[in-house]
Amino acid sequence: MLPTSTATRSSRRRVLGIDPGLARFGWAVLEDSAPPKMVAADCLLTAAGQPEAHRLGQLFRALSAIIRRFRPQVMAVEELYVTKNISTVVAVGQARGVALAVAAMTRTPVVGFSPTAVKQAVTGYGRADKRQVARMVTLLLKLKRQPRLDDVADAMAVAWCGLPGVVLR
């Protein structure tokens, strides 16, 4: 986890960004301040050898705990990107469904952003690659180091889109 603050409650708006995935589920909490600040971020990992229902349950429990701890006012979730690999789309869709279910149960409002819109918002280019996204969230959030995992950088970028005043094209 990459915490920059140990506070779990704040009067400032918090956005929980989600980059859904069954094997790697990135999440990041940003706080709307001047400038916006990264509160915490990490990647939930589930083992490929476990039954799918078990893995989805792990994600559900972990995400529920994250929401209880950080109390975001909104959850920003990356929308599905349809590829030729249907099994990947299904797994990501199931993980995204877990995020939406947790949001519903905790009464956390949800906003969704396409991968292209996220890339456009943080890099200025809708077809930016993973390295460009990671570099830009590092600069935008004034992080001391670049996120190690793409899933975490992507979750930070999705959370960035959920901040008030971010212009999406």
Separation in Å, CA 146 to CA 34, 42, 55, 136, 154 = 20, 13, 28, 9, 12
Which position among 31, 32, 42, 78 bears the catalytic label?
78
Q: Is the dihedral of CA 63, 39, 76, 79 positive or negative?
A: negative
Active site residue 19: yes
Which position among 19, 31, 32, 154 bears the catalytic label?
19
Active site residue 154: no
Which position among 31, 32, 151, 154 bears the catalytic label?
151
Q: Estimate the crossing angle of helix 115-123 against helix 150-161, to 10 degrees.
A: 80
Q: Residues 39, 47: contact at Cβ < 8 Å?
A: no
Q: Residues 27, 44: contact at Cβ < 8 Å?
A: yes
Active site residue 31: no
Q: Which residues are catalytic?
A: 19, 78, 151
